């Protein structure tokens, strides 16, 4: 009993003393007094916290806490996190293949990357990550969550997901793999002579690859640009991709409190490559750079935007090294579209709202052509006979059957056809 009251008395006296010291410090507004408050608090933690912490640990946690409380995207990068970030931006790393962010205080999936373990396992944009290998993500930083999911290829990780519309959490056991991202790909919709251009992420080669694919398919009647589940990437590539479709105007600007972070990115008339009718697909997994592209094309009235409201990530982060091994990621500005509107926490509203799913039978006016049936039958015959399938046909075209499975894509294709007809009528006047 004596020891209990001694301990209780100690904490009472200690608590009063601490309040007294902190209260005195907070009374003043000077930087020196506030810095003194921080150092005093750190010293108290070092001396009295239940577990042994050295001053370096306390300092790192102090910086981490400061940055994580600013917004969902600012963070402290210790030596390991700094290395992981450098590996991730190289375009190849071991992991699951998802981009995550903080939404409504929860670690959420922005989008799974195409053809990665996460996408194949069934992880979807909007999923909330509840646990990673049994550890709760409540209070976990984005960087910590990323580090726990990343790892050596062929190793497993257990993910518990909360998904809208599901009564119970979903459990996934996913095997990590080396993530190699194919940022740009193209297929032809032969029945309509429309180019389907898929951009899954904005790496350093997006503008160049997209330009090559558009120029290679100049004979098409229009383009469907698919930015669904595209979590973003490099700003200059978002500007470059948009510039392929527009010749002038400010594509995006960024504004911050420090004027040195203010910048306007204008279109270069020499970089435009096409005036073809354009439809852009977005969904809740379209974020950052993909929102800049879709939002800018919408403001320029250059494309019809189809699908679902985008994620709403329109802030600018820069990585500032603290020393050779550590850095901070800090939000320094917000993006603004040509009309002056912001993306941050708002997202891009599509011109035509279409939810994911199949084309309803009663509205399905697709016509299966004999060539489609022949291709399907030939593929099945080759499987039976043990012959190699024609990979070119499978990879380079979209069949009517595939369109039937994707009502958003079907709507985009129809929109391109309507835009073409409107433009033809306008030219006849």
Task: List for the chain the helix, strand, coil content (%; round to 5).
Answer: 40, 25, 35
Produce one character per residue of 18-34: b if its CB has 16 or more CB atoms within 10 Å, e if not: eeeeeeebeeeeeeeee
162 forms bridges with which residues in the sheet?
128
For residues 158 and 148, the answer to whether their CB atoms sit within 8 Å is: no
Among all residues, which ones are annotated catalytic? 288, 299, 313
For residues 286 and 316, the answer to whether their CB atoms sit within 8 Å is: no
Angle (deg, nearest 10), helices 55-68 and 31-48: 130
Phi and psi at 407, nearest 5°, equal: -65, -30
In Å, what is the CA distance from 21 to each residue of 1, 40, 62, 63, 89?
30, 8, 19, 21, 45
Q: Cα(203)–Cα(184) distance, rounded to whole angstroms?
A: 9
**Nearest CA among 47, 109, 66 for reference residue 329:** 66
Token reading at 159: 């993910």
233 SS3 class: strand
**Nearest CA among 115, 121, 103, 113 for reference residue 160:** 121
Phi and psi at 136, nearest 5°, equal: -65, 145
Helix intervals (H) in 49-94: 55-68, 79-88
In Å, what is the CA distance from 329 to each residue of 66, 113, 141, 317?
12, 23, 13, 6
């Amino acid at each position: 009993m004596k020891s209990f009251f001694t301990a209780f008395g100690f904490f009472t006296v200690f608590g009063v003393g601490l309040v007294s010291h902190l209260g005195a410090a907070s009374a003043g507004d000077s930087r020196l007094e506030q810095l003194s408050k921080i150092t005093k608090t750190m010293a108290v933690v070092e001396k009295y916290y239940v577990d042994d912490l050295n001053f370096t640990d306390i300092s790192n946690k102090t910086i981490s806490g400061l940055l994580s409380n600013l917004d969902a995207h600012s963070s402290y990068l210790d030596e390991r996190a700094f290395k992981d970030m450098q590996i991730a931006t190289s375009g190849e790393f071991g992991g699951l293949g998802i981009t995550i962010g903080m939404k409504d205080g929860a670690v959420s999936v922005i989008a799974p990357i195409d053809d990665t373990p996460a996408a194949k396992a069934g992880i979807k944009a909007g999923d909330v990550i509840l646990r990673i290998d049994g550890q709760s993500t409540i209070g976990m930083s984005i960087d910590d969550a990323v580090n726990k999911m990343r790892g050596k290829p062929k190793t497993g990780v257990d993910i518990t997901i909360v998904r809208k519309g599901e009564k119970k959490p979903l459990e996934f056991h996913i095997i990590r793999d080396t993530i190699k991202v194919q940022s740009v790909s193209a297929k032809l919709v032969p029945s309509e002579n429309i180019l389907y251009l898929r951009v899954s992420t904005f790496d350093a080669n997006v503008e160049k690859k997209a330009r090559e694919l558009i120029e290679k398919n100049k004979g098409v009647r229009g383009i469907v640009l698919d930015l669904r589940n595209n979590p973003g990437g490099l700003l200059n590539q978002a500007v470059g991709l948009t510039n392929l479709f527009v010749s002038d105007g400010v594509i995006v600007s960024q504004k911050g409190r420090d004027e040195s972070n203010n910048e306007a990115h204008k279109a270069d008339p020499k970089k435009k490559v096409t005036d073809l009718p354009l439809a852009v697909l977005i969904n809740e997994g379209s974020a950052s750079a993909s929102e800049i592209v879709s939002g800018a094309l919408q403001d320029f009235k250059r494309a019809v935007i189809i699908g679902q409201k985008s994620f709403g990530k329109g802030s600018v982060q820069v990585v500032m090294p603290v020393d050779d091994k550590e850095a901070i990621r800090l939000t320094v500005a917000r993006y603004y579209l040509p009309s002056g509107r912001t993306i941050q926490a708002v997202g891009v509203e599509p011109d035509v709202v279409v939810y994911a799913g199949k084309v309803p039978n009663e509205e399905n006016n697709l016509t299966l052509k004999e060539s489609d049936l022949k291709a399907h039958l030939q593929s099945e015959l080759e499987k039976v006979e043990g012959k190699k399938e024609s990979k070119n046909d499978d990879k380079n075209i979209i069949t009517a059957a595939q369109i039937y499975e994707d009502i958003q894509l079907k709507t985009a294709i129809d929109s391109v056809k309507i835009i073409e007809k409107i433009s033809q009528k306008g030219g006849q006047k």
